[in-house]
Amino acid sequence: MSKIMAVNSGSSTLKWKLYTVPDEKVIAKGMVDRLGLSDSVFEVEYDGGKKISEMGDIPDHVTAVNKMLDKLIDLKIINSYDEIAGVGHRVVAGGSIFKDSAIVTPRVIQQIKNLSEFAPLHNPGQAAGIEAFEKILPQIPQVAVFDTSFHQTMDPVNYLYSIPYEYYEKYGVRKFGAHGTSHRYVSQAAADFLHKPLTDLKIISAHLGSGSSIDAIEDGESVDNSMGFTPLAGITMSTRSGDVDPSLVAYLMQKMKISDPAEMVKILNTKSGLLGISGVSPDMRDLLATRKENHRSDLAIKIFINRIVKYIGSYIALLGGTDVLIFTAGVGAGNAEIRADIANRFNYMGIKIDNDANENGKGTRLISTSDSSVAVLVVPTDEELMIVRDVVRLTKLSD
């Protein structure tokens, strides 16, 4: 059987899985958590459940990728890198260039770098990660899988901004959305779990992690996504501001005597969100641990939930109701308190949470009661599996 590696990097996490195909069996998996922060956590699970966990500063994605590859050899998960038949990489921004995943070439790498202005927290590190793999696996085909491709089904009513239309015509300015690979996976997984055709469901998917987005899905297609021209837009995130009044940006630049717009964008991307509000940490776990003694930690959590509720409410209206509400990604799938705080805001429309199911259990599961008006599910995302399938499809790998 062929072995394919999928790499899924976020702004503060890097997840990976090694699969055999065509059976799509995971033979090893792991992640780096708190990437770029102190006390990063490096985890590997392999050989039927054996686990290792190491702590130490991992400053960037390139370091994380190299550590991951070195560990595969150290643990003898594979005998040599030649056993890997392909590598797929999650890439956040594909702009209007990539309407599908793409086999990596020097031109594709350069295009990913050029698209960094659309996703400054992601594309540079992802391009560097691809290049790091090339140094170690120069003969192995690589595929870039773009978060934005799933959202190509959005209607112009939802993806155009209310600015002069010529800017769209000349510069391609529009909403691109993000986390499309995750939303594509969890929507299908939810439909499978409920034993219903995906095309019969109206779904709202809440991908809540370091980067977060809400997606409205109907007939299996993305209708709207909370992220915009870049992943900076939308709800409050770990270090990203989410939606702000553009006039505020100009006002702050004037007050702080900032002349370079890139400097202001960096502040909105790296010093805002949960970190900026709390002054404590960009990590939700740290905020939950300090919310009782630090009112700003508590405020940051409340603002995070408030913005999510607003987007979910607007998407319920956009879809004309919803059948399924999905929670996924690190915070969405991993924190019962946050899920309950969000879902309970919709008690007025008949959403009811089963507290025991919400607080206990693993994997894909229903956390709403039998008489809830909407099925509320926890669906751990598996962007890596979608990436592997795209590697197989595009490279035509076979056993």
Sign for the CA dihedral angle at 333, 338, 343, 347 comes to positive
Active site residues: 147
Dihedral over alpha carbons 233, 237, 239, 245 (to 10 degrees): 40
Q: Are 224 and 216 in contact (CB under 8 A)?
A: yes
50's enclosing H/E stretch is strand 50-55
Rounded Cα distance between 375 and 199, Å, is 16
Using alpha carbons, select from 52, 60, 56 the residue that is nearest to residue 12. 60
Rounded Cα distance between 128 and 61, Å, is 8
Give the strand pairing for 375-378 and 324-328. Answer: parallel
Angle between helix 246-255 and 261-270 (nearest 10): 110
329's enclosing H/E stretch is helix 329-334
Rounded Cα distance between 311 and 300, Å, is 17
Sign for the CA dihedral angle at 19, 25, 30, 33 comes to positive
Give the other-Cβ count within 10 Å of 82's Cβ: 11
Using alpha carbons, select from 116, 72, 77 the residue that is nearest to residue 95. 116
Give the strand pairing for 324-328 and 202-208. Answer: parallel
- Bridge partner residues of 42 (DSSP): 32, 54
